[in-house]
Amino acid sequence: QLRTGADVPTPSRCHRRHFRAKSVYPALRCSTMEGLCTVPKITVALPTPFDEDQVDVPGLERMAGWVKEQGVNSVIAAGTTGEFAGMTFAERVLVLEATRRGLGVDGFLFANVSACCVDDAVQLARDAVRSNARPDALLLLPPFYHAPFSPAINAAGVEAFFRKFFNRLPRRFEADCAPGAERRVPPVFLYTFAWHTQQPISAEVYGRLCAEFPDRIAGVKASGMGLEQAQQFSLAAPGRAVLVGNGRINLDVLKAGLHVVSGDGVPVCWALSKLLRLVEANELGRAAAVQQALIRAWRGCVDKYDEIAADKAAFAKILRVSTKFETRPPLVPLAEAEAVDIQQAVEKLFAEVQAA
């Protein structure tokens, strides 16, 4: 029989002297592009909880609030981890607004507006900006499905997609809540994740787009790549934030002055929060112990499963959240025995991070 969420050790319910529930958001913010956008050093991508195939809005609000209590106040709603590709446009707005309510007005909220059709991406941007979520930034993948014919042709096609998007994206949209009033479109982060899209964004293409649209692009989310490759984006467009999604190199990313973004680490984001605090305090030996614990105790378990299903199993065991395992096809939820394995990994990681 599975243990209840009350049995999962989380920073918000025990050992508070080691894991402060207070948000460290102001200290995490890092200016980019002379004030165009500020983004925290740690961002997590939330899974979208479902209940009988409907978005679990109260559960999502609890999840966003819990993440904030762990010291992480920057989130991506309805991103890759949030199963955006399996949701309607209306559901993506619903998720965005619920996330904002749970996160609060002081949180940094990314709205994922990714779509294969440029006009759909513009429509999603319009929906996000006009919503009550008031996102701080937009996030956009290149179009997915078509495999690149060659690196050169891929680069040209991806560049053309983003150029077309920015040329069609207004600078303001009329607000739904106040006819005649307008809302400014927030800056955009390009999002490269070639493992999913087959269409990488090269550092060269990123640099050219930043030069062409200097007041619209605030940075890049670079997932599934190494540190050296991620650093090429910083060199291509200095002054913009580079969010690196690779759980095995979080410490190296922070030491290099870049930003961490994590989908698999969201249910253990208290460990990421402590990692950052140790880096900021220059306690690099202890930070290395936390990073090794994340790899050994957490990644060592999660790598056996689909990480989105694993995240949902972990949140089901957190008393303050208690959402369901449910996913949408083609993803498959974890079995109960597998969920116990995830729960034990959380417990093991908590003990090791506490000792670091």
pLDDT band of residue 36 (cuts 50, 70, 90) is: low
Residue 147: predicted pLDDT: 83
Q: Which residue has the higher pLDDT, 30 or 341?
A: 341
In angstroms, the CA 304 to CA 310 distance is 9
CA dihedral 133, 135, 138, 139 (to 10 degrees): -70
Query: Is residue 224 classed exposed, middle or buried when 0-12, 13-18 and 19+ CB atoms within 10 A define those classes?
Result: middle
Residues 179-213 pLDDT 10s? 668 999 999 999 999 888 889 999 999 999 999 99
Mean pLDDT confidence for 298-303: 96
* pLDDT at position 35: 54
Question: Is a pLDDT exceeding 60 seen at residue 269?
Answer: yes
The residues pairing with 38 across neighbouring beta strands, listed in sequence order, are: 31
Q: In sequence order, what are the residues at sequence separation of 6 or more whose Cβ sits closer than 8 angstroms to the Cβ of residue 117?
A: 143
Per-residue model confidence as pLDDT tens digits over 213-266: 999 999 999 999 999 999 999 999 999 999 999 999 999 999 999 999 999 999
pLDDT: which is higher, 52 or 38? 52
Backbone angles phi and psi of 267, in degrees to 5: -75, -10
pLDDT at position 308 over 70: yes
Does domain 42-266 sit in CATH 3.20.20.70? yes
**Cα–Cα dist 178/97, whole Å:** 17
pLDDT reported for residue 51: 97
- Every domain of the chain and the residues it spans: 42-266
- Please tell me the predicted confidence (pLDDT) of residue 77: 98
Q: What is the pLDDT of residue 177?
A: 61
Q: Contact 169/185 with Cβ under 8 angstroms? A: yes
pLDDT in tens, 69-112: 999 999 999 999 999 999 999 999 999 999 999 999 999 999 99
Measured CA distances, 305 to 30, 219, 284, 300 (Å): 34, 30, 30, 10
Arithmetic mean of pLDDT, 25-43: 62
pLDDT value, residue 197: 85
**What pLDDT digit, counting tens, does each position of 126-181 carry?**
999 999 999 999 999 999 988 888 999 999 999 999 999 999 999 999 876 666 68
pLDDT at 181: 81
Q: Which residue has the higher pLDDT, 24 or 79?
A: 79
pLDDT value at residue 12: 40
Residue 22 has pLDDT above 50, yes or no: no
